[in-house]
Structure 1
Amino acid sequence: MADFGVVTPPVKVAGVKPATTTGEALSVVALRKTYGDVVAVDEASMEIAAGEFVTFLGASGSGKTTTLMMIAGFCEPDSGTITVGDRDVTRLAPQKRNLGFVFQQYLLFPHMTVSENVAFPLQLRGVPKNEIRRRVGETLEIAGLSRCAGRRPRELSGGQQQRVALCRALVYRPPVILMDEPLGALDKKLRDQLQVEIKTIQQELGLTVIYVTHDQEEALVMSDRIAVMRDGRIEQFDTPRELFERPRTPFVADFLGAANFLAGRVVDTTDEHTVVRLDRSGGLLTARRHELASGTPVRVAVQPGRLRAGAPDDGFCAGTVETATYVGTLVRAGVRLDGDDAALLRLEVQAGRGPVAGERVGITADPDDVNLFSTEQGG
């Protein structure tokens, strides 16, 4: 019988040495792809370490999938180089790159059992039958699918099918595994569970993984580093913490954390802090030190979860709570700022401690949570 909705967690397998499937480093240098007058990828460069989990994150049309397809060999770049380990694979056919690929669609053979689906890449490579049985059994056990070996895809849940697809990519020990939004078709609960499972397998086996998603939370949960892409360019390539807490551009601050932006001007900089006077309220806001000269016009960026609501006379600005929405552990509030009908400041506070609609509040933030961008940086 099918075991829909039940996903056995991956297990550690005695005798399986992570070194046998450790991934290789990957280098992308000045990769470019155009379609007529449209630049899909524009001089993208990055160095990915062996055993690293890297995510390409961006909206539709940002170039993330095109970059992945060029690495896979399904799309030929106009210029640039792709190196896996010490091999230049830029012009090699996909099958000669020996990379693993996991699609959003499972693409399992419906007439084959789970074991037969996983064994298929090894059969194509002419691996001896005894070795195929050993590798398939080992890989299914790693993914917690041993008891499903004799089933066919239609007898599996969506999560189990996706794990079979992952096993098929793992079984021939590719140097790099590429994943194109593999969890996009699953419900949130199952997607959250599989995020942890994929990350666990990747860490235990030392795999090099490149993952594509448009889901910011998914990228933050799974990645060692994230390449935030926009209009074919890499805006910032960094750790999740650095991207969220130290974005280098207003776009990254807004895309990854839905930052609030306020206009102001630098009035003073000390050894530890930069002080900004806000244009609308005239209030003084203290940020961590930025290398910005006095008088520089800036955009102040603060994530909703890093703002605090207090007494109306406290803080760098004040306003009236216009909305307060309960979302489980959080209350999401919108504060209409005094003197600025256009500005609705977004806050996220712990449920039970949040402001209520109609309440007057003052807004504060820890200086270390405040990012400043010169208005010359643009979006």
Structure 2
Amino acid sequence: MADFKVAVPSVGQAGGKPSATATGKALSVVALRKTYGDVVAVDEASMEIAAGEFVTFLGSSGSGKTTTLMMIAGFCEPDSGTITVGGSDVTRLAPQKRNLGFVFQQYLLFPHMTVHENVAFPLQLRGVGKSEIRRRVGETLEIAGLSKFAGRRPRELSGGQQQRVALCRALVYRPPVILMDEPLGALDKKLRDQLQIEIKTIQQELGLTVIYVTHDQEEALVLSDRIAVMRNGLIEQFDTPRELFERPKSPFVADFLGAANFLAGRIEQHTDQHTLVRLEECGGLLTARHHDLATGVAVKVAVQPGRLSVCAPGEGFCGGTVETATYVGTIVRAGVRVEGGDAPLLRLEVPAGRGPVTGERVDVSVDPEDVNLFTVEQGG
């Protein structure tokens, strides 16, 4: 399958970057709320998205991510709040008057039309002249590596090619914002991984503003400039992928983004650079980066599986026995049963060449910078 060929800046901006008029806020959402009877689907969601930014709404089913996207698109009317696109209030406008691009999980291509005709359709609806339609469609298909398929019908294309046609149809009329609702969800993993790279490449080169919905954490981390993690209609945290993964602001975000290990403990003391936590289950002393928490405060320690390491007995913050060890290509996923009381099973992801074996006695260590602490009041 051909890759995207990003070489035609006239479809986006000169040189593939946003122009001066495109800088600043592309979209603003303020206190957006939607209820269905007694169920609050979206609860006072607010955010500002910059021109040229790739933002993902990430969450499980029922989190409110798709409802938020549908309100932005105009397919769902909010109970309250405002939606502004390019400085204009579009909250009560019909979808076709918002001039936004939309790519669905279902490709929704017209089966009786060719690829060229499918991509041209939005321009025809807008009354664009025939010669201009030919030029824009040709440029857009060239970007997507689909020029040689222009005369084919959707049934003659692979799933990945059909999805690229759907993307071209959203790109061709140069919308200020493109909305994508789990567009890769129906594809197999290898093809999905390939298209993630292609979508990110074209978005960056053309300076497109994209709002993307997915429940796939890895997909969100790969594609996004910022991610809005949603739960029960609320935005738990809106931040860069690195901040979300390494500095989550709640136990929920730590668990949802990386399936963190959690240990109970209390703040024992502080040094200039570190905070020492006495763990309840095993009695070990764990060193974390400095946190402004009072001595004696009960905390929940969160550490991602990939940030834990096995070490010789006596060198870690706790010890235990390897209960499970699963080879997964480049890594081994291990479960270490920590010694002491009702100690949990610590999940580790370590390089396959240095992976522990079932039944082995090991200690577990972690870099202080990779430890996040939450107070009990912060909940899950």
Tell me what 2:225 maps to: 224
1:293-316 Cα offsets, whole Å, 9 max, x none, are 111100000000000011121211
Amino acid at match of 1:142: I
1:2-50 Cα offsets, whole Å, 9 max, x none, are xxxxx21011325637426846611001100000000000010111000
| Equivalent runs, 1:233-312 vs 2, <5 Å | 233-312=234-313
1:151-199 Cα offsets, whole Å, 9 max, x none, are 1000100000000000000000000000000000000000000000000
Amino acid at match of 1:10: F
Secondary structure, in 3 states, of the residue corresponding to 1:352?
Answer: helix
Secondary structure, in 3 states, of the residue corresponding to 2:145?
Answer: coil
1:297-356 Cα offsets, whole Å, 9 max, x none, are 000000000000111212111100000000000000000110144511000000010110
How big is the shift at 1:268?
1.1
Separation in structure 1 between the aligned mates of residue 6 and residue 251 of structure 2, nearest angstrom: 42
1:119-157 Cα offsets, whole Å, 9 max, x none, are 000000000000000000000011111111111000100
Amino acid at match of 1:363: V
Tell me what 2:44 maps to: 43
Q: Does structure 1 residue 187 correspond to structure 2 residue 181?
A: no
Tell me what 1:77 maps to: 78
Amino acid at match of 1:8: A
Secondary structure, in 3 states, of the residue corresponding to 1:326?
Answer: strand
**Among residues 12, 17, 21, which one is paired with 2:6 in the alignment?**
12
1:75-111 Cα offsets, whole Å, 9 max, x none, are 0000111001111001101000000000000000001
Separation in structure 2 between the aligned mates of residue 274 and residue 17 of structure 1, nearest angstrom: 53
Amino acid at match of 1:77: P
Amino acid at match of 2:154: P
| Equivalent runs, 1:319-330 vs 2, <5 Å | 319-330=320-331
Secondary structure, in 3 states, of the residue corresponding to 1:144?
Answer: coil
Amino acid at match of 1:287: A
Tell me what 2:128 maps to: 127
Separation in structure 2 between the aligned mates of residue 330 and residue 16 of structure 1, nearest angstrom: 44
194-203 or 268-277: bigger deviation = 268-277
Compute the TM-score of the two structures, normalised by the length of structure 1.
0.97
Q: RMSD over aligned Cα, in angstroms?
A: 1.2
| Structure 2 unaligned spans of 5+ | none
Secondary structure, in 3 states, of the residue corresponding to 2:127?
Answer: coil
Contact map agreement 2:43 2:233 (CA 8 A) in 1: yes
Secondary structure, in 3 states, of the residue corresponding to 2:354?
Answer: coil
308-317 or 354-363: bigger deviation = 308-317
Tell me what 1:163 maps to: 164
Aligned pairs, how many?
373
How big is the shift at 1:215?
0.2
Tell me what 1:112 maps to: 113
How big is the shift at 1:282?
1.0
Compute the TM-score of the two structures, normalised by the length of structure 2.
0.96
Secondary structure, in 3 states, of the residue corresponding to 2:252?
Answer: helix
Amino acid at match of 2:81: G
Tell me what 2:137 maps to: 136
Residue 15 to residue 35, structure 1, CA distance change in 2 (3 Å): closer
Separation in structure 1 between the aligned mates of residue 287 and residue 88 of structure 2, nearest angstrom: 50
Amino acid at match of 1:256: L
Residue 108 to residue 17, structure 1, CA distance change in 2 (3 Å): closer
Separation in structure 1 between the aligned mates of residue 324 and residue 113 of structure 2, nearest angstrom: 54
Q: Does structure 1 residue 371 correspond to structure 2 residue 372?
A: yes
Identity fraction in percent: 82
Tell me what 2:207 maps to: 206
Amino acid at match of 1:12: V
How big is the shift at 1:270?
2.4
